[in-house]
Chain A
Amino acid sequence: MLQGALAGLAAGGLYAVLGVCLTLMSRLVRVVNFAQAATGMFGTYVAVWLVSDAGLPIWPAVAVGVVIGGSISALIGIIIGTWLPEADTGSRSAVTVAVLLFLISLSFILFGNRPQPFRPVLSGPAFQVSGVVISQVAIFTVVVAVLVALSAHVVLTKTSVGIRLRALSERPTTAELVGIPARTLSVAVWATTGAVGTLVVAIVAPTQSNDATALSMLVVPAAAAALLGGFRRLDLAVVGGLVLGVLQGAAAQLSQLSVARHFLPFLFIVGLLVWSQRKEVWDAAR
């Protein structure tokens, strides 16, 4: 059971990073990006193809994949920023649903709909404590999750770009009126989250189920993680992702929970939403 829980850490770290990306996007560009994991999946598949068919070494291939993931994300950002600059979060997010559909289908066409033959970038145990193995991937993702959240926090509070981003997220129209280049900054946020998401998916995916749909649906546990922080707090998003991963890992060990564990993220989401919406809230301030 403990071994299972620790095995879930790698997945949990992945949820955490994607959850942090979702939180950043929700805060800074007012979108719940349903295509977040799909973007990572697509970039990763490109990297895998480069290794298996074009014979590129693994790291350059991953680098190309990350660039592609970032570019796809930036492109979505440009589309939404151009046509729905002042729409509400719901309408903006709905666009990413269509993009999610697009990316999954396109990956079926380009790469086939069988799971991809991944060669893990990181593999093997990192160390062993009293019989319990902790894998390199688990260490890597947890560290990356914490690092991403920390650096995002530092950028947002300490740098002038960060202050501009926060201003933009609080009052987009006013921000533009005081001369903050909203489009450029938003696209930069999209590109960055796309690239970070791709990097983590590329490294962790081989240890997870790796068909296109399953990878794209990682957005669900990521959203659960982000919800713990109310789509605002980065630290809680990290905690949420790790907790969810560990719980799923532990549940996988119990055969009587084998079906129920698939519903864990869903129940997590419903529970958090019911809690966070317990007070009456209206759709408009006035």
Chain B
Amino acid sequence: MRLVDRPWTAHQVRLTRLARPFMVAAVAIAAGLGLSAALPGYYVYLAISVIVAAVALLGLGIVSGSAGMIALCQLTFAAVGAWVVTGLNVAGAPGGFVLWLAAGGLVAGVVGLLVGLPALRLRGVNLAVVTLGLAAAVDVALVQVQFPGTTEGRFVDRPGPFGDDRSYFILCVLVLAACCLAVHFVQQGRWGSGWKSVAFSERGTAAAGGSVSSSKLTAFATSATLGGISGGLVVGQVGLALPASFTPIQSLALYVLAIMAGAYLIDMAIFGAVLWVAVPELLKRWGVPQDWGFVVFGVLGVQALTSGTNLGMIIRTALWRRSASKPVAPTVSDAAPSVSDAAPSVSDAAPTSDPAPHPSPAPARGSMVLEVDDLSMSFGHVQALRGVQLAVPEGAVVGLIGPNGAGKSTLVDVISGFLPRATGTVRLDGVSMAGRSPTRRARLGLRRTFQQDRVPPGLTVGAYVRYVARRRLAAEDIAEVLDFFGCPPERTRLADVDAGRRRLVEVAGHVLAQPRILLLDEPAAGLSHDEHLALAQRLRQAPARFGLSMLLIEHDLDLVRSVCDTITVLDFGEVLASGPQADVLADPAVLKAYMGETEML
């Protein structure tokens, strides 16, 4: 019955997913129309300021929230947008304000790219230094140079039908709605997943075939574009561009506000903008110096940054708890039955009672998918790998075992390209991987999972596996593979999934990518004994079912014994034995090294 329902519900879900944001936008625009008619004149002016700030915060939310970077020059990008609009006005360029506004956004985006480009590999702090440096320099320079037309008093005219404050407010509402829609869909798409992935782990991103630098760059440029648009809107609001609107201290305050409010959530960006305007306004009314506003932001910012929470997160969690406490079962417990459902059906196919389980016969295995030759790697004085040789035939599951510290994880790092200093060759389908980045290798079908948790908690299960798979997937295919590996359903937030199961989601995502070979680095760690057994059975079926080959790195001999037909043993960075399971495990040298038997004494 579920199967019959599924295509329908999936289709419906897709439609509502597409339609709902537009409906929300329509309602918002209608509300804007209402406000523009109902509000007193001064409030309309303030409301425009709110929208200007909202667009800038929307951008900051992407860099600071989704992509986890510190960017302190949002108003510098706004100044670029303002510069373009005033410049085009002075030059008498054709097209009018709306086109100039778009041009301002575009140019700011390009400036963002140029600033971000050298910052490609920069971590949070370095980007913060660069952006603060830019903000400070532009601030001083602007005072000296002034915007085009400011000293001569050449005002920028608002476009025809939006001449007065009330109608200009409507234009701003339209611009904001468009920006919000764009940000929403980008966040839901590949770019958005990439930003959240990069914020959590660069290595995890690269292993999924995502480019770390382009994720950071797109985040930075998108944010700069929105900054530019916000700057253009200010020019339309005031008629002139003044350096005082774009000071570094305001950029700092905006950053702090974005963190505090959780501006990566669209509604929170707008709420933050309301605070941005309302707090100084209220202070003014109460006769308190307006600088107290930033003092308060500073204190609340310290609180938010030290506690790692923000308003948006607090509100969302509260709402989610309330809806979860209703009779409808939470998504996570939905997952549990499907796991136990899956287990018996798997054991039907290969009964556990089988004393010596053998891997299911794999498809024709002639060629080698992965060949590793004479691989060596040292860290300082410690030789981690020495002349390692290894091959994985088409459709096989090869086990890689060895005591802790034997170099197993280092070997996976070398094969997947994270340690380019290693010597020796790695070949995928006969093609050398030398000089290729982890991202390139992943895209070519050489995939790996991590021993550590590299699954970004900011995504849903579905968004994550789609990002990792890097190809168009039908909802049914995703559901099937998730079910097969005992993962929670698509809509579950990864933050609600426990660490052991998160790694199963990681495996499922990489399987969906249809790689040539998948390196699994201790996939069973953090699972219970029963889940171990269930995973072993699934891994055994995986090659035939999904047409991939696997290298399974494990410490647990039982798991390896039940899944792998050939085994390679690593000890002190060298291959101690390699061959059919039975031979290797009977080798006294292996026993000695692996079990740490008393013979060593």
Is A132 among interface residues, defined by CB-CB distance under 8 A?
Answer: no
Residues of B within 8 A of A269 (CB): 129-130, 133
The residue on A at minimum CB distance from B250 is A101
Is B512 among interface residues, defined by CB-CB distance under 8 A?
Answer: no
Across the interface, A105 reaches (CB within 8 A) one of B125, B140, B292, B418, namely: B292
What is the interface of chain B mostly: helix, strand, loop, or mixed?
Answer: helix
The residue on B at minimum CB distance from A271 is B118
Measured CA separation A89–B127 after assembly (Å): 13
Indicate whether A273 sits within 8 Å of B130 (C-beta atoms), given known contacts A94-B305, A259-B141, A286-B452.
yes
Q: Do the beta carbons of A109 and B291 come within 8 Å of each other?
A: yes
Measured CA separation A84–B413 after assembly (Å): 30
Q: Do the beta carbons of B137 and A265 come within 8 Å of each other?
A: yes
Q: Do the beta carbons of B294 and A273 come within 8 Å of each other?
A: no
Q: Do the beta carbons of A89 and B302 come within 8 Å of each other?
A: no
Q: Do the beta carbons of A277 and B124 come within 8 Å of each other?
A: no
Q: Do the beta carbons of A259 and B298 come within 8 Å of each other?
A: no
Residues of B within 8 A of A82 (CB): 306
Q: Do the beta carbons of A79 and B128 come within 8 Å of each other?
A: no
Residues of B within 8 A of A280 (CB): 121, 420, 437
Q: Tell me the smallest distance from the CB of A72 to a CB of chain B, in Å.
A: 12
Q: Which of B289, B420, B451 has the most CB of A within 10 A?
A: B289
Across the interface, A283 reaches (CB within 8 A) one of B202, B248, B249, B420, namely: B202
Residues of B within 8 A of A34 (CB): 128, 132
The residue on A at minimum CB distance from B294 is A105
Q: Do the beta carbons of A213 and B248 come within 8 Å of each other?
A: yes
Residues of B within 8 A of A274 (CB): 118
Across the interface, B249 reaches (CB within 8 A) one of A32, A104, A219, A220, namely: A104
Is B409 among interface residues, defined by CB-CB distance under 8 A?
Answer: yes
Q: Do the beta carbons of A90 and B297 come within 8 Å of each other?
A: no
Is B145 among interface residues, defined by CB-CB distance under 8 A?
Answer: yes
Q: Do the beta carbons of A217 and B298 come within 8 Å of each other?
A: no
Indicate whether A99 sits within 8 Å of B298 (C-beta atoms), given known contacts A104-B249, A259-B141.
yes
Measured CA separation A93–B68 after assembly (Å): 13
Residues of A within 8 A of B302 (CB): 79, 95, 98-99, 102
Given contacts A105-B294, A213-B139, A266-B133, 10 further A-B contacts (CB under 8 A): A83-B306, A89-B124, A89-B125, A98-B301, A98-B302, A101-B252, A213-B248, A277-B126, A280-B420, A281-B121
Interface on B for A, CB 8 Å cutoff? 68, 70, 72, 118-119, 121-126, 128-130, 132-134, 136-137, 139-141, 144-145, 201-203, 247-249, 252-253, 255-256, 259, 289, 291-295, 297-299, 301-302, 305-308, 409, 413, 418, 420, 437, 451-452
Top 5 A-B pairs, shortest CB-CB distance: A102-B298, A90-B124, A98-B301, A105-B294, A83-B306
Interface on A for B, CB 8 Å cutoff? 32, 34, 79-80, 82-84, 88-91, 93-95, 97-106, 108-109, 113, 213-214, 217, 219-220, 223-224, 227, 258-259, 262-263, 265-266, 269-270, 273-274, 277, 280-284, 286
Identify 29 residue pairs between A and B in the complex whose beta-carbon atoms are under 8 Å apart, listed by A's number: A32-B125, A89-B124, A90-B68, A90-B70, A90-B128, A91-B305, A91-B308, A94-B124, A101-B249, A101-B252, A102-B294, A102-B298, A102-B302, A103-B298, A105-B291, A106-B298, A113-B291, A217-B139, A220-B132, A259-B141, A259-B145, A269-B130, A270-B118, A273-B129, A277-B122, A281-B121, A286-B409, A286-B451, A286-B452
